[in-house]
Structure 1
């Protein structure tokens, strides 16, 4: 979800993220909880937990939840939503939990924000119990996502960062994610594709959601709010319905690996 290296960027519109954009991944949360989720009272850690939408659902099924994110404001929302959870501010490349602490570690759209995704997988393995599971979910392939134009147009507003460490693999490609998990020695199950509908009742709500992300905050800082609003509005214009609402069909995938 939101484990960008600069958590302060996600703080800018944290409540808009929690209120509007976070739920766009809801079908993946529900699909996971209908599958090999931990049994009641077993411990689960969500990396890049954001505002805690998923952990709130999991806690409602009596799973003992913890979360990690770099954004203090989002972690604060997660703590409010699930007071019994253990939510911490930190970097998923250095997970601040003991070895073999969890039966399941999840990462919903957060792994691609890591400087070193392989290190995140190593850390996830460290805190997972033998026989436990690590589940990675990501948008993609992006060619199957109506939001592709939004992603590309937003990235065009970002400042050039030639020295930023970037993942060597395309983490919107399930083949690459499977390879990352297999290389770490995990037993990897086939990926599952899930359709996620991004729906907004009007343009202002769509802009609240789509401009609430960390990358959007960086684009606004670099290009200005007016330019960012105009760019995103143009990107989603083809998906406007006659009643003024917006509907984008997007696809994500989930891959679950087992620690043997």
Structure 2
């Protein structure tokens, strides 16, 4: 999608300032850390949404910001037709290695007639095929313009189809809140878009965006998603792979960020060395109203 609303939060920092071999190596390592360590933490959320919507062979799923594709893989296992959008090349490659169809730009890469890849030759006004379910499981809480993302999701949904939006639950129900606070505390205090993971956790926040995007609220729920790691090192690597600490690392240095993440994790370390934090995630389901077509975000 052309909109910056679904751009990966990890692209810039993952590539590194040199943009060369070292930067690419870091990007690949972080993508693997996401796929091997962090991605599974939200499986209860994915499954809850799919169960609620009875995702199956009749469902066409588009995953916005699908990263390495586990949510799509689970939907495909239920018989759904799936396609994903992931701007970050390394994550997209890992998803494609799972035999998933994952694109870098929905408007550029989908033909409005057939849904087939058309590459850079597609016109700027091309409209991709609509889907019966569009998901935004990870990006809504960290994008700079969540309303633009919701509007884009609505536009890509078939009339009468559904959009699933996920956010962190209330901070008092999320043991990872203290760790996430490192991202804000160590970032540039003058940064225009500081990371605020719980900005959309309050009552009515997502619902207001749903209404402004021309959709109708049809349900939602809360899901317990434990963040469980075999050891402290895995926990740090997994959390860093999310990209939410990038601005903090740029401003305060990677070592300081890793040090403070490690300190914040200590209360959740168990006797066997593993780390476990209980978190609640919230999902909101909205229906695309047939007579309302939101403008495409720019």
TM-score above 0.5, yes or no:
yes
Q: State the partner residue of 2:85.
A: 68
Does residue 88 of the first structure (1) align with residue 103 of the second (2)? yes
SS of the aligned residue for 1:34 comes to: helix
Question: In 2 relative to 1, CA 140–48 (structure 1 residues): closer, same or farther, beyond 3 Å?
Answer: same
Q: Taking CA–CA contacts closer than 8 Å with sequence separation of 6 or more, which of the two structures ends up with the larger relative contact order? A: 1
**Residue 178 of structure 1: CA displacement?**
1.1
Question: In 2 relative to 1, CA 197–165 (structure 1 residues): closer, same or farther, beyond 3 Å?
Answer: closer
Does residue 24 of the first structure (1) align with residue 53 of the second (2)? no
Q: 2:11 aligns with which of 7, 21, 30?
A: 7
In structure 1, stretches of 5+ residues that fail to align are none
Q: State the partner residue of 2:21.
A: none
**Residue 243 of structure 1: CA displacement?**
1.3
Q: Which moved more, 1:218-227 or 1:174-183?
A: 218-227
Q: Is the 8 A contact 1:52 1:67 kept in 2?
A: yes
**Residue 173 of structure 1: CA displacement?**
2.6
In structure 2, stretches of 5+ residues that fail to align are 1-5, 16-26, 111-126, 290-298
Q: Could you report, residue by residue, the CA deviation over 1:24-57 in whole angstroms, capped at 9, with x for unpaired residues?
A: 1111011112121443153210111011110011
Q: Is the 8 A contact 1:5 1:114 kept in 2?
A: yes
Q: State the partner residue of 2:207.
A: 178
SS of the aligned residue for 2:178 comes to: helix
**Residue 186 of structure 1: CA displacement?**
1.6
Q: Count matched residues.
A: 254
Structure having the higher Rg = 2
**Residue 112 of structure 1: CA displacement?**
2.8
Q: Is the 8 A contact 2:9 2:244 kept in 1?
A: no
SS of the aligned residue for 1:70 comes to: coil
Does residue 159 of the first structure (1) align with residue 188 of the second (2)? yes
Q: Distance in 1 between matches of 2:164 and 2:280?
A: 17
Does residue 49 of the first structure (1) align with residue 66 of the second (2)? yes
CA RMSD, aligned part only? Answer: 2.4
**Residue 254 of structure 1: CA displacement?**
0.7
Q: 1:255 aligns with which of 270, 284, 294?
A: 284
Q: State the partner residue of 1:215.
A: 244
Q: Could you report, residue by residue, the CA deviation over 1:105-126 in whole angstroms, capped at 9, with x for unpaired residues?
A: 0000212333322222222222
Q: Distance in 2 between matches of 1:230 and 1:115?
A: 27
Q: Distance in 1 between matches of 2:74 and 2:206?
A: 25
Q: Is the 8 A contact 2:10 2:242 kept in 1?
A: no
Q: Could you report, residue by residue, the CA deviation over 1:90-144 in whole angstroms, capped at 9, with x for unpaired residues?
A: 4x8x786535521110000212333322222222222211110000011122221
Q: Is the 8 A contact 2:187 2:194 kept in 1?
A: no
Q: Distance in 1 between matches of 2:43 and 2:175?
A: 17
**Residue 205 of structure 1: CA displacement?**
1.0
Q: Distance in 2 between matches of 1:128 and 1:50?
A: 20
